[in-house]
Structure 1
Amino acid sequence: MIKIRKYEDSDASELWKLFYHTVRNVNRRDYSQEQVEAWAPDNFDRKIWKNKLNAISPFIAEIEGVIVGYADLQESGLIDHFFCHHDYQGKGVARCLMEHV
């Protein structure tokens, strides 16, 4: 069962891993290697990442305590981040997140 909850500061590191590996494993099909590396670089300032997550306040999707996706919805209607772990795509995670936001 997929559980949706609010973001907590302690999620930042796990969300970076999810973001990085999703971009590198899924989104690379639609972007050049240069674009992928710019979007999800090997060396990224974790403080900037935490600040970004605090600014967008994403919702977290979990299955059995494992973070499998996250998404946000801004007051303007913009969805800034919407990512599902590459191993959990096609399992209803994105649908649950979209229904929640």
Structure 2
Amino acid sequence: MLIIRKFQNGDELTLREIFFNTIRNVNIKDYSQIQVQAWAPDDYDQPEWYKRISAINPFVAILNGEVVGYADVQDDGYIDHFFCHWQHQGKGIGKALQ
């Protein structure tokens, strides 16, 4: 069962893994290696990531107890992050997050 809920403290590392692995495994098809490395570097500033993800306050998709995606929409309609787990693409998760 797919559940959509609001971001909770403690989601940060799981969302970072989804962000990183989706870019490295899915988006690599549309961007150069240099762009992907800049977008999702191996090393990152963990406190800055926590601050950023908390600030965008995303919705989180959970499928059978596993976090499988997240997306935000800001008050002005801007979407900063919209990522679905690379192994769960094409299962309606993105549609549910819309």
* Match in the other structure for 2:50: 50
RMSD of aligned alpha carbons: 0.5
* Match in the other structure for 2:81: 81
* Match in the other structure for 2:19: 19
Q: Deviations over 1:53-78 (max 9, x none)?
A: 11100000001110000000000100
CA distance in structure 2 between the partners assigned to 1:52 and 1:26 by the alignment: 22
1:3 alignment partner, SS class: strand
Give the superposition deviation at 1:9: 1.6
Q: 1:33-44 maps to which residues of 2 (within 5 A)?
A: 33-44=33-44
TM-score computed with the length of structure 2 as normaliser: 0.98
Q: Identity of aligned pairs, percent? A: 51
Task: Specify which structure has the higher proportion of helix.
Answer: 1
Q: Which runs of 5+ in 1 are unaligned?
A: none
2:5 alignment partner, SS class: strand
TM-score computed with the length of structure 1 as normaliser: 0.95
Q: Deviations over 1:77-99 (max 9, x none)?
A: 0011000001101001001001x
